[in-house]
Copies of this chain bind each other. A is one copy, B any other.
Amino acid sequence: MINTPDFKADDHLLPVVAQDATSGEVLMLAYMNREAWQETLGSGVAVYYSRSRGKLWKKGEESGHIQHVLEIYLDCDADTILLKVEQLGGAACHEGYASCFFRQWQDDGSLKIVRERIFDPKQVYKNK
């Protein structure tokens, strides 16, 4: 088994699952390249690679909703990272929910919002 994340190249992205260390709730999935991984290790807060912005993204840099990384796990193939985090502000999702997975699939093929909003995105992201 590989003993470090298997970044095949510097620009290779690995998926990262962020899980709330206390509640166990899966908060979000994001990506890291090697630099983001090293920044995360060095800083103790989650730093991802934003595919839409094409650059490193310190989670919470705009909203203040930083993720303190408490534990890190690698999977058997070393190509997925699991972070157990303390989510500041109580919400990981830019839509204002604790978890990005706030919509549950229904048998009729619709999606139902099954969480309460923690914050109003318009108040947090004022320049958007």
Contact = CB atoms under 8 A, between A and B. Distances in A.
B110 A3 contact: yes
B105 A76 contact: no
A73 interface: yes
Interface string A70-104: 01111111001010000000000111010011111
Nearest to A31: B15
B15 A29 contact: yes
Given A24-B24, A101-B82, A111-B3, A29 B73 contact: no
Interface string A102-114: 1111000111000
A28 interface: yes
Nearest to A77: B100
Nearest to A104: B73
A110 B2 CA distance: 11
A56 interface: no
A17 interface: yes
Contact of A102 (B3, B23, B76): B76
Contact of A111 (B29, B74, B109): B74
